[in-house]
Amino acid sequence: MSTETTEEPDVVRTHLSRLSIALRGTLRRRDGRIAFVVGLIGYFLVYEAAVQNLARAIDPGTVGINVVDDPLALAFRSTGPFQYEPIAFFQLYAVDYLFAPVTAAIGLGLAALVAANLAIAYVSWRAPKACGIDRGRSSSAGLLASLPALLSGTVCCGPVLLLIVGIQATAGLMALFQWLLPIAVLLLVGSLFWVSKGVSPDAAV
């Protein structure tokens, strides 16, 4: 028993260590860094659009900023599952952006996970030895894990997705929508850990 309790943290530590090797190996390469940044920014923008904080301008050509009177009081107020009140409205000529700090932070966290999956997948495909990844364990499948979070956005009285495709919602479907984002996080983290299993601890770091 005592062996088990000491082994479990070791397993986690080993995975984290190998994941760290894979990430450092990936980000040391220029193409790895580019893939990460593209994944980070790209997914963040898509996520903000999916939760309808980023959209085509209502008044094209207008530039301006509006901030609520009491940003701190509103910033942490939930407006839906994993969505929070916007505290500022940016009109940026062709697009409008509602800045909700907590929603944006969640989006950035998700984007970082997606970007890590993307960068590792890209580098392991281009040069698997660079980060000691078994090619068979590339995390490209993990990118699919990023999709559920994009479907989780809700507006007012229902999920955006149902509005678009016109599917009738049931209580079960509504409950599922509330779990899409946590499911995406679990899948993305799981994908990274799965990749880390194939990392050679002897890979150059």
Picking from 152, 138, 154, 159, the residue whose alpha carbon sits closest to that of residue 184 is 152
Picking from 154, 159, 180, the residue whose alpha carbon sits closest to that of residue 170 is 159
CA distance 178 to 20: 31
Q: Does residue 79 sit in helix, strand or coil?
A: strand
β-sheet bridge partners, residue 63: 92
User: Interacting stretch for another protein, rule CB under 8 A, among 12-20, 54-62, 109-117, 141-149?
Assistant: 54-62
CA distance 138 to 154: 32
| Chosen residue from 81, 112, 182, 189 binding another protein by CB under 8 A | 81
Burial class (CB in 10 A: 0-12, 13-18, 19+), 77: exposed
Q: Is 182 in the site for another protein (CB under 8 A)?
A: no
Q: Is 45 in the site for another protein (CB under 8 A)?
A: no
List the x/- string, 133-172, binding to another protein by CB under 8 A: ---------------------xxxxxxx-xx--x-xxxx-
| Chosen residue from 14, 17, 79, 140 binding another protein by CB under 8 A | 79
| Chosen residue from 19, 87, 149, 185 binding another protein by CB under 8 A | 87
Q: Contact positions toward another protein, by CB under 8 A?
A: 52, 55, 58-59, 66-69, 74, 77-81, 85-89, 96, 98, 154-160, 162-163, 166, 168-171, 174-175, 177-178
